[in-house]
Amino acid sequence: MVSEHANGMEPEKLPEANDCESEEGGRGGSAAVTGAVTAPDGGWGWVVLVATIVVLALTLAFPSCVGIFYTDLQNDFQASNSETSWVPSIMTSVLHAGGKTSKAGNKLSSIQLISVTNTFIFSLLPLLSL
């Protein structure tokens, strides 16, 4: 690659960058892979992906879609607009409260213990509402 100085007089030769260079400055080549290639996570990547999609759908997407059932909730419970609007508000506040309690608890204990405890507590909340 050639670049010129501001005065346009003398060209300067710059080194070319190679995408295959390693951090030590050596040239990396392509190595042929022989045999079976195993996933570094043991093949559990798809399970984690599906579980993440399910959790996000249940926690973030469902409160956003409550509007679809809004009129049905009003008709079934003979409730006003202000009474029915509490449903998505409570769902969203419980979601955000879970994050705050997890953050506060992580400073006191391990992440695993707080996650299991919060899961247990927030699983019981719907049962307590009966």
The one-digit pLDDT tens for each residue of the chain (130 residues) are 554 555 555 655 555 555 454 455 555 556 677 788 787 878 888 998 999 999 888 777 777 787 788 888 889 989 898 888 887 888 778 777 777 777 777 788 888 888 788 788 878 877 887 6
- Position 7 in a domain: no
Q: Is 15 part of any domain?
A: no
The tally of domains found in the chain comes to 1
The answer to whether residue 102 sits within a structural domain is: yes
Residue 124 lies in a domain: yes
Instruction: Say if 85 falls within a structural domain.
Output: yes
- The reported pTM is 0.42
Residue 52 lies in a domain: yes
How far is 78 from 5, CA to CA, in rounded Å?
80
DSSP 58: I
1 falls within a domain: no
Burial of 102 (0-12, 13-18, 19+ CB in 10 A): middle
User: Is 26 part of any domain?
Assistant: no
* Residue spans of alpha helices (H) in 1-130: 45-56, 62-64, 70-77, 81-84, 86-106, 111-128
Structural domain harbouring 87: 45-128
